[in-house]
Amino acid sequence: MIENTLQRIKRYIDFRGIRVSVLEREVGMSNGSFASQLKNNKTIGVDKLENILKIYGDINVEWLLTGNGNMLKEVVLEYNDPKVHQLKEDIAIIENIPVYNVQTVDGIVDLLGDNNSQVPVDYIKVSKIDKYDGALYIIGDSMYPLLKSGDIVVYKKINNLQNNIIWGEMYLVYVNNDDNEFFFTRFLKKSERESYVQFVSQNPDHQTIEFPISSIKAIALVKASVRINSQF
């Protein structure tokens, strides 16, 4: 069965975690109308379609209308250097970076480990970023306001962490301590306790915690972040 525009809208809001009732309210549809149109394989009005594109500005219009291309728009970060703005030819747009939407500890272990079987949900392009392994959607508010849930971070996996941690930088970290599993996005700092690491949040409501460095089983340096806002 060929997927239509309504079905693609449903796939998008499921991906974003948006309830149908919220979609209906935000785009001016009556309660239950979207579900009814979807069930009966009907079309959506041009005015409602325009509202969807205004409110959810990260949707790729070509994908929404035809099914071709990626679900989300490609996001390009500009290299913030005055010389680059003067000489556009110096801006190098690097390859597509795979974006993952992993929400389980097992998925994170797989993503940051040696046997990555995760499937990208999309791709982005970032200028002046090399030596990356992928990008990941952030969940939670521990690094707010620097990062918020739904932001994307570009990461590079770190090997031999004992010698390659840059203290004070932000990392994605999988910790297994006494069979208790955690996944953090945190600044890492040296602890006053020998062989321990401090996990420091940007959000003041989150307390700094410490774990033995030996409990870190997988780690990746955060090299860039992307925030997608609706554009009207």
Fold of 5-66: 434 Repressor (Amino-terminal Domain) (1.10.260)
| 3-state SS record for the chain | CCCCHHHHHHHHHHHHCCCHHHHHHHHCCCCCHHHHHHHCCCCCCHHHHHHHHHHCCCECHHHHHHCCCCCECCCEECCCCHHHHHCHHHCCECCCEEEECCCCHHHHHHHHCCCCCCCCCEEEEEECCCCCCEEEECCCCCCCCCCCCCCEEEEEECCCHHHHCCCCCEEEEEEEECCEEEEEEEEEEECCCCCEEEEECCCCCCCCEEEEHHHEEEEEEEEEEECCCCCC
For the residues 85-106, what does the mean pLDDT come to?
66
Tens digits of residue pLDDT in 112-130 = 887 667 888 888 877 767 7
**How much is the pTM?**
0.59
Res 86: pLDDT: 46
Q: Is it true that 5-66 and 82-226 share their CATH fold?
A: no
Supply the CATH classification number for the domain 82-226. 2.10.109.10
| Segments making up each domain of the chain, as ranges | 5-66, 82-226
